[in-house]
Amino acid sequence: MDTQLTTEIARRRTFAIISHPDAGKTTLTEKLLLYANMIRTAGMVRGRKAAKTVSSDWMQIEQERGISITASAMQFNYHDCVINVLDTPGHQDFSEDTYRTLTAADSAVMVIDAAKGVEAQTRKLFSICRLRGIPIMTFINKLDLPSQDFFDLLAELEDVLGIKTSPLNWPVGSGKDFIGVVDRQTQQVLLFEKAGVGGSQKALVENVPLAELLQHNRIPERIREQLLYELELLDHAGNPFSLESFLAGEVTPVFFGSALTNFGVETFFDNFCRLAPAPGNKVAYDSSNEEVQIDAIADPFSAYVFKIQANMDPKHRDSMAFMRICSGLFERDLTVKHHRSGKEVRLSRSHAMFGGDRNTVDLAYAGDIVGVINPGFFAIGDTVSMGGGFNYKSIPKFPPEIVAGIRPLDVLNRKSFDKGLQQLSDEGTVLVLNSLRSGSNENLVAAVGKLQFDVLQFRLESEYRVRTKLEVLPYRYGAWLVGDAQNFKPTSSSMLAQDASGRVILLYTQEWERKYVLEQNPGFQLLDFQY
């Protein structure tokens, strides 16, 4: 077995960062870049117009609104590890993009706001990680601000998410008194001081043995007494930590800190590299739909497309397909089999991304994310490999919760409109549908949330120079139809439509319509997810 291949794959850490909006996920990503020496100063998600923007939010609309709208992939070295970090949109309207991205991750970092605890989107993303068996590390953020009781936070994590918690460090103080963390395994205390404005520079750290800190009264008495009480309570009532239970998804190691001030950030990243799994075997399905194990090291190159992004570079106006490498070694100009079409394709223009910048990739390994130029050939979920004969599990499409008709304001822009709609549909920005209602030829777009429509119109105008008129329709539910659509009779307030792959979806306005329409059309099925 190739020693270099084994070593390189063992160095990989491919993970996604998940959270509710505003919990500090993108800020934490930026601080990882700071501590990896990839940037000299960390940007802020929000701030004055002159402030530096975060590296992972590379789209114009992301920088204007101060939110992550599309998942981004970045690779860099951190100590002895090669980090592939997938920053996902926190807003629920982009949950489908987040789900697709989570399929490419070997582990996840869950960011919790110390004041708000477990929020709705956190629960949803956590459940997806659990379904996929992804081990999760927890970073409780914003300790520089007033927070909930720490034990209440741990109890909420366990009760709401159904996973055991095991704090590997513990905060010294909170709010304006937050000055450090105790490493419970080494019994060392890290005391922090701010450096730079707004956390733009690495925090200054002093490492002190816990016993020495307590003996010399280095901290105020009230903080010292509270810390002693909490540590003693943890030792007696806390959950023990083991690497095996973490990798099995039974326990989440918990760390405390502030991504804004950088307090506790570096020790969290150090522990992440130590604990998070390297790429392992992946389940695939052969031609008989039987499970097969693809070995990350022993099997030759294979990968699948989990994301497509158009117009990352305004100069090129091209489309890029992002592949998660699941096994073996990737080399530029590699000729592989495209499983869906059965054709061979040459991966000649391969790139790694850092924010919106691209760099040519000559070699990559299992666990890495590689972007290849997509001439309209690749689709989300496609498998490629050296030998063929299997497919990685398809990525499901979410049912729409909002539908609209859309058209260009200027009919002379129809060609650009059609091109933009097609490319953004390929990305999964929205689901483009054609109505099967007699005499209807309008373009329909469907999404999980209205913010996706805002992004669609913004990008059609900024990237394709097409201003559009969008009218939201009354349909609030959707489900894919199984059966011959020609013999299906929808209700007067529902409608059948077809997606780009020819799959038929029923759009309806009220929950009761689903049951009613199935009673009126025996032998048909409605599916919430389509693979």
173 and 146 in a common domain: yes
The verdict on residue 84 lying in a domain is: no
pLDDT in tens, 260-270: 999 999 999 99
Q: Where are the alpha helices (DSSP H) in 311-404?
A: none
Conformation bin of residue 174: beta by default, left when phi > 0, alpha when psi is -120 to 50: beta
The verdict on residue 249 lying in a domain is: yes
**What would the two tokens of residue 75 be?**
């690779």
Q: What is the pLDDT of residue 317?
A: 63
Q: What is the pLDDT of residue 48?
A: 34
DSSP reduced 3-state for 515: helix
Confidence of residue 241 (pLDDT cuts 50, 70, 90): very high
Domain count, the chain: 3
The verdict on residue 100 lying in a domain is: no
* CATH number of the domain bearing residue 243: 3.40.50.300
Q: What is the pLDDT of residue 18?
A: 86
Confidence of residue 373 (pLDDT cuts 50, 70, 90): confident
The verdict on residue 83 lying in a domain is: no
Q: Which of 3-17, 204-218, 291-305 is predicted least confidently?
A: 204-218
257 and 377 in a common domain: no
Last residue of a domain, one of 350, 374, 392: 392
- Residue with the larger pLDDT of the pair 451 and 153: 153
442 and 370 in a common domain: no
Give the amino acid at 520.
Q
Give yes or no for residue 70 having a pLDDT over 60: no
What is the C-alpha separation between 286 and 354, in angstroms, rounded?
A: 35
* CATH number of the domain bearing residue 496: 3.30.70.3280
Dihedral sign, Cα of residue 339, residue 340, residue 342, residue 343 = negative
Long-range contacts of 269-275, Cβ-Cβ distance < 8 Å, separation of 24 or more: 269/32, 269/35, 269/78, 270/79, 271/137, 271/168, 272/13, 272/15, 272/109, 272/137, 273/13, 273/78, 273/79, 273/80, 273/81, 273/83, 275/137, 275/243, 275/246
DSSP 513: H
The verdict on residue 1 lying in a domain is: no
523 and 501 in a common domain: yes
344 and 207 in a common domain: no
* CATH number of the domain bearing residue 381: 2.40.30.10
227 and 210 in a common domain: yes
Conformation bin of residue 512: beta by default, left when phi > 0, alpha when psi is -120 to 50: alpha
Q: What is the pLDDT of residue 87?
A: 72
% of the chain surpassing 70 pLDDT: 89
122 and 186 in a common domain: yes
The answer to whether 473 and 445 are in contact (CB under 8 A) is no
Last residue of a domain, one of 243, 275, 307: 275
Q: What is the pLDDT of residue 53?
A: 44
- Residue with the larger pLDDT of the pair 327 and 527: 327
The answer to whether 392 and 380 are in contact (CB under 8 A) is no
Instruction: Compute CA distances 316 → 63, 269, 346, whole Å.
Output: 21, 35, 20
The verdict on residue 78 lying in a domain is: no
286 and 271 in a common domain: no
267 and 164 in a common domain: yes
Q: What is the pLDDT of residue 94?
A: 55
Last residue of a domain, one of 392, 412, 436: 392
Strand partners, 292: 284
443 and 383 in a common domain: no
133 and 62 in a common domain: yes
Domain that holds residue 507: 402-527
Confidence of residue 54 (pLDDT cuts 50, 70, 90): very low
Confidence of residue 55 (pLDDT cuts 50, 70, 90): very low
Query: Average pLDDT of the chain?
Result: 87
Whole-prediction pTM value?
Answer: 0.83
